[in-house]
């Protein structure tokens, strides 16, 4: 959000400047809607916006940045075919953060994160595949394991993805009659005393009640995961949850580019001045999740890594950069958030808007309206609005989407035939066949 909006604003403030936008993807991902991709509420293409459609004059480069030479003012990058570099007068860092999959033993090997569209699609396929497998097995223990989903983390992402999975399981059960013998189980494991710690305790308690009563979601508060393996999660209270799917929504770590910079860090984020410039690195600025931007409206406390702040930091940085070019004094960043909202499933949400606590259907409409307002490009807004209305009256899509090419399927067939030929030439003993 921060980088794309900064580039778009720079086009207005510096009309004669040459602007380059470097990104590993050629699109912006609207991360708050990824849980809806998991629950098949929206199509994955509706939560991304091509960067070339968001900017006009800026040159978009889909490349992987490999290094930054701050002394020579040069950015090194590579794409699929070659390497290159760009010299800069001013460099804006908005490279975000990465998921930290090493907080808990076994987390990297056995949990599914939710940071990208690919993560959301993979998780959606996993949920459907578990239902398909549960429909076939006659083993009740295995069926319970297949239909148990554990979400680690009770923040916004954890609550929203748990609610979406619960809704999807409820609405799709009519097509999985055999597996209905064992009810699906969705569990949130949260280390705090109430869900959604960013919101008041009363809303967190309300969220817990609604998820439990209407969504059938089991909430484990004041509970931490100690270890994760292929069969489930070990908890700190000596208990265990056997689950076929474990989802991680906790933990972030800094981008490797940020780690390599010779600049002061603050809890893995670049320490920046009030105008978002990086001290000690002339011409370098930082915004978004990778920067600890002091908020002038909150006594200089670092801004939280949310889209609401990133959308404001980008335009103000562009204005400050233009002031610096003209030799004018820059302005400190300050923003008072309008509120926080979270969907909790079954057309319900919780919110704190202008200091007022809200819960139920009305904040759910506000939640959708807010995201519809800020999702990039008019085409995406129209598609998302139509799809949301469609999903209110029709069941979810339960198609399991395989992303394999024809040649890959052919290779598998060849391998299977080869394996069969080996078996025919080498009979297996009776004991081993059993």
| CA 21, 27, 28, 29 torsion-angle sign | negative
Angle at 320 between CA 317 and CA 326, to 5 degrees: 145
* Backbone phi, psi, residue 337, to 5°: -60, 145
Nearest alpha-carbon partner for 161 in 126, 132, 191: 126
- Alpha-carbon distance of 310 to 322, in angstroms, equals 19
For Cα atoms 62, 113, 389, give the angle at the middle one, nearest 5 degrees. 80
> How many Å apart are CA 124 and CA 120, to the nearest integer?
6
Instruction: Give the separation between CA 242 and CA 256, rounded to whole angstroms.
Output: 35
Nearest partner of 360 among 230, 210, 253, judged by Cα: 210
Instruction: Count CB-CB contacts under 10 A for residue 60.
Output: 20
Which candidate, 26, 30, 27, places its Cα nearest to that of 43? Answer: 30
Residue 221: predicted pLDDT: 96
pLDDT in tens, the chain (434 residues): 899 999 999 999 999 999 999 999 999 998 889 999 999 889 888 899 999 999 999 999 999 999 999 999 999 999 988 999 999 999 999 999 988 999 999 999 999 999 999 999 999 999 999 999 999 999 999 999 999 999 999 999 999 999 999 999 999 988 998 877 788 999 999 999 999 998 889 899 999 998 988 768 999 999 999 999 999 999 998 899 999 999 999 988 889 999 999 999 998 899 999 999 999 999 999 999 999 999 999 889 999 988 889 999 999 999 999 999 999 999 999 999 888 889 998 888 999 888 888 888 999 999 999 888 888 888 888 989 999 988 888 888 898 887 777 776 666 555 555 555 444 444 433 333 32
DSSP code of residue 354: T
Q: In this structure, are residues 344 and 210 in contact, taking their beta carbons and an 8 Å threshold?
A: yes
Among candidate residues 300, 244, 257, 260, the one with its CA nearest the CA of residue 112? 244
Instruction: Check: CB of residue 344 under 8 Å from CB of residue 159.
Output: yes
Per-residue pLDDT, 376: 80
Closest CA to 134 of 244, 215, 231, 217: 244
Among 164, 223, 213, 214, which residue's Cα sits nearest to residue 188?
223
The per-residue pLDDT for 422 is 41
Judging by DSSP bridges, how do beta strands 269-271 and 291-292 pair with one another? parallel
pTM: 0.88
Alpha-helical regions (H) of 137-246: 140-146, 156-172, 201-213
């Amino acid at each position: 959000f921060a980088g794309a909006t900064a580039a778009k604003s720079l086009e207005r403030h510096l009309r004669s400047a040459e602007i380059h936008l470097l990104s590993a993807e050629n699109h912006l991902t609207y991360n708050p809607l990824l849980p809806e991709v998991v629950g098949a509420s929206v199509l994955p293409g509706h939560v991304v916006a091509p960067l070339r459609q968001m900017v006009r004059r800026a040159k978009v480069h889909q490349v992987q940045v490999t290094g930054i030479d701050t002394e020579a003012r040069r950015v090194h990058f590579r794409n699929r075919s070659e390497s290159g570099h760009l010299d800069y007068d001013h460099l804006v860092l908005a490279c975000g953060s990465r998921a930290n999959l090493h907080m808990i033993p076994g987390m990297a090997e056995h949990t599914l994160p939710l940071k990208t569209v690919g993560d959301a699609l993979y998780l959606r396929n996993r949920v459907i595949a578990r239902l398909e497998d549960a429909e076939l097995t006659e083993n009740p223990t295995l069926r319970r394991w297949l239909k148990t989903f554990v979400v680690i983390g009770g923040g916004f992402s954890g609550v929203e993805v748990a609610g979406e999975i619960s809704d999807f399981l409820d609405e799709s059960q009519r097509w999985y009659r055999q597996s209905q013998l064992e009810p699906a189980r969705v569990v949130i494991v949260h280390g705090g005393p109430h869900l959604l710690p960013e919101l008041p305790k009363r809303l967190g308690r309300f969220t817990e009640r609604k998820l439990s009563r209407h969504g059938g979601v089991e909430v484990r508060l004041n509970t931490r995961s100690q270890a994760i393996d292929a069969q489930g999660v070990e908890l700190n209270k000596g208990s265990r949850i056997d689950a076929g799917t474990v989802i991680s929504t906790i933990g972030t770590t800094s981008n490797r580019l940020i780690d390599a910079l010779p600049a002061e860090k603050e809890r893995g984020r670049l320490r920046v001045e009030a105008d978002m410039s990086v001290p000690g690195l002339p011409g370098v600025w930082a915004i978004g999740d990778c920067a600890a931007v002091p908020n002038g409206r909150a006594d200089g406390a670092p801004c939280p890594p949310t889209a609401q702040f990133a959308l404001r930091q980008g335009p103000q940085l562009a204005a400050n950069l233009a002031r610096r070019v003209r030799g004018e004094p820059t302005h400190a960043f300050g923003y008072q958030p309008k509120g926080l909202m979270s969907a909790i499933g079954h057309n319900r949400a919780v919110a704190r808007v202008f200091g007022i606590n809200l819960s139920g259907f009305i904040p759910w409409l506000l939640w959708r309206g807010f995201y519809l307002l800020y999702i990039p490009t008019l085409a995406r807004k129209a598609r998302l609005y139509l799809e949301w209305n469609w999903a209110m009256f029709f069941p979810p899509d339960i198609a399991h989407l395989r992303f394999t090419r024809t040649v890959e399927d052919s290779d598998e067939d060849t391998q299977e035939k080869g394996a069969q030929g080996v078996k025919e030439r080498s009979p297996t003993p009776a004991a081993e066949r059993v």
